[in-house]
């Protein structure tokens, strides 16, 4: 029996029982060959020397950039939740005792992951290996989609003022623009990593063996426990859901080639799961 607890900076969420969330996936190293042909011709385009030096930002500009990043994290991290995968060693006699579990005595920590608040109704988006119906005391898994490794939990938020994420777009992303990942790698809560959009339109494997198309590639570090956390842009808008990383062969260390499910795909999938639940094709 698995038990999840979700936590964020805003309020403690109830203990949850749910399928084990998928840890950050790792892919074997891939080596490709690129043949480069150098031409022998030299074309003089402009006789005026061109300086490649970039202007150095002054102290005020640097401070503004730093303050913006700090504020970006503080605002977005309120919407990110920490998922603990707990295996019960002592099954409570009644569900009313679930909230009083002693993690040291009654449960064993199997893993950690990330998720984020989707709306004011308490829907939580995260990644999970879908295994069927599981319930926890004050909510349940609404649905999951193996094609995109997305799942939705519903928690009881009556009396709590929660902050959903701000959704962005992924169809207008550009390679080179800044992006930021927030999650809980290796159990370290609310970790921020920075990078750029390294590539677009990638394909990565899904839990059902098919390809997730249109994935975002980034060099913002994603490690075990980041899965399900948001990838955001410079405005704090969610542009993807962190999901996978390549690792250096034999090391288990991220190579800097990381992936996120594009938010346009998530926006099409999550509302369907909330309204209709798990698609029939994904139940078996």
Give me the active site residues, please. Answer: 123, 149, 227
CA-based end-to-end distance of the chain: 20
**Distance, CA of 276 to CA of 32 (rounded, Å):** 43
Instruction: Reduce the secondary structure of the chain to three states and give it as a string.
Output: CEEEEEECCCCEEEEECCCCCCCCEEECCCCCCCCCCCCCCCCCCCCCCCCCCCCCCCHHHHHHHHHHHHHHHHHHHCCEEEEEEEEECCCCCCHHHHHHCCHHHHEEEEEEEEEEECCCCCEEEECCCCCCCCEECCEEEEEEECCCCEEEEECCCCCCCCCCCEECCCCCCCCCCEEEEEECHHHCCCEEEEEEEEEEEEEEECCCCCEEEEEEEECCCCCCCCCCCEEECCCCEEEEEEEEEEECCCCCCEEEEEEEEEHHHHHHHHHHHHHHCCCHHHCC
| Under 8 Å between Cβ of 88 and 137 | no
**Distance, CA of 146 to CA of 123 (rounded, Å):** 18
């Amino acid at each position: 029996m698995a038990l999840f607890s979700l936590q964020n900076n805003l309020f403690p969420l109830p203990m949850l029982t749910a399928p084990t969330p998928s840890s950050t996936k790792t892919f074997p190293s891939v080596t490709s060959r690129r043949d480069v042909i150098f031409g022998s011709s030299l074309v003089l385009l402009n006789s005026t020397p061109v300086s490649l030096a970039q202007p150095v930002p002054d102290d005020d500009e640097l401070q503004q950039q730093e303050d913006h990043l700090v504020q970006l994290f503080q605002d977005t991290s309120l919407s990110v939740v920490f998922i603990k995968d707990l295996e019960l060693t002592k099954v409570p006699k009644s569900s009313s005792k679930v909230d009083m579990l002693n993690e040291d005595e009654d449960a064993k920590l199997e893993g950690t992951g990330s998720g984020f608040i989707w709306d004011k109704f308490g829907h939580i988006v995260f990644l999970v290996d879908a295994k069927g119906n599981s319930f926890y005391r004050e909510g349940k898994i609404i649905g999951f989609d193996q094609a995109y490794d997305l799942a939705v939990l519903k928690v009881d938020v009556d009396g709590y003022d929660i902050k959903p994420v701000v959704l962005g777009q992924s169809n207008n992303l550009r390679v080179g623009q800044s992006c930021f990942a927030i999650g809980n790698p290796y159990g370290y809560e609310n970790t921020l990593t920075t990078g750029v959009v390294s590539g677009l339109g990638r394909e990565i494997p899904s839990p059902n063996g098919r390809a997730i198309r249109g994935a975002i590639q980034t060099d913002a570090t994603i490690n075990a426990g980041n899965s399900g956390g948001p990838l955001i842009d410079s405005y704090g808008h969610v542009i993807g859901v962190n999901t996978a990383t390549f690792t250096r062969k034999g090391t288990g260390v991220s190579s800097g080639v990381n992936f996120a499910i594009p938010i346009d795909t998530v926006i099409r999938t999550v509302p369907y799961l909330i309204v209709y639940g798990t698609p029939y094709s994904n139940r078996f």
